Structure 1
């Protein structure tokens, strides 16, 4: 059965954070992606890319998708933060993963999903500074790679490669060949030879 990814993009979303995931899912894994947005409105990225929404993120259902992915962007630190807690709750109750990258980890923190799970984010002090109710400091992993714990996947905005890897593995699309393919995107961070 074809896997389906619900990708939540918001006004001012960060172009680079879910691009590799979406392209890899579609072209390497034969999965489908659907861009959902708050209220079903069309959105524009930080880089100026206009996106037509396929539906309201608030209505995302685990019956229709295998994972709910929240892309980072400027909205997560604004007064216009969308409430996606009901959608995230439906996915987790169905045993399906919820993922957040960069400032979207703040949304997961607001939902209380990081209080008792290993997780990461942009930097250690961001969650307690921006989310007063956050209680997960003891579970924070100060590392550059994405973290997965009990169907919640988190990453800093600088980790789209491992974010993609953790999501694809979580929904059963991981393979040695796919992991080798994704690893290539991190090769630029290795020390130069010669």
Structure 2
């Protein structure tokens, strides 16, 4: 992977817990994480944290990125305010640049038609069915799913979500990837030795 910048979408009401494992370990492994907002105005997360975006969405170019991460947020289910991020995801996927969406962001991608022909997951199948999308037969009951350049996960699976991101970007592979997951998902102390070797 030559591009070492990962773009994290940030917006009001975003779920703080869903992307922390991914962004922290990407940053520790040579990636720069840049926050992209609808504008460069600060946003406030569900947890009350204030985030200043590094750039506005209209300045985001898939050619400058290794990955776009879309966290969940209440706003995904209360109107079309975040629809521009789903359109950006389409541009990324069309350019062959991966997208990772978790929780409510999966509903945004469903509305955009990006889950109609890809295996995917979310919180529960009927959550996505409510969007009116046509990809229901491609829904998978799993912690996280990768199909081509698209990674999806439900809101309770930030560790599995991060694992899929690391696998796609080559951050951890094979035994190390498995050890990372066992350490952070299962609290398996034997995994630490493998990671620190």
> Normalized against structure 1, the TM-score is what?
0.89
- 8 Å contact 2:72–2:102 — kept in the other structure? yes
Aligned to 2:194: none
Consecutive unaligned residues of structure 2, counting only runs of 5 or more, are 189-197
**1:2–1:32 Cα contact (<8 Å) kept:** no
* More off after superposition, 83-92 vs 147-156: 83-92
Shift >3 Å, 4+ stretches? none
Counterpart Cα distance in 1 of 2:66 and 2:8: 11
User: C-alpha displacement at 1:96, in angstroms?
Assistant: 1.1
From the superposition, tell whether residues 127 and 52 of structure 1 become closer, same or farther in structure 2 (CA, over 3 Å): same
Residue among 120, 145, 148 paired with 2:146? 148
CA 58–108 in structure 1, closer or farther in 2 if over 3 Å, else same: farther
Q: Matched residue of 1:158: which SS?
A: coil
**Residue 34 of structure 1 aligns with which residue?**
34
C-alpha root-mean-square deviation of aligned residues, in Å?
1.7
Give the number of the structure whose residues are more often helix, by fraction: 2
Q: 1:8, CA displacement in angstroms?
A: 0.4
After superposition, the Cα gap between the structure-2 partners of 1:58 and 1:119, relative to the gap in structure 1 and judged at 3 Å, is farther
Contact 1:161 1:183 in 2 (8 A): no
Runs (5+) with no aligned partner, structure 1: 190-194
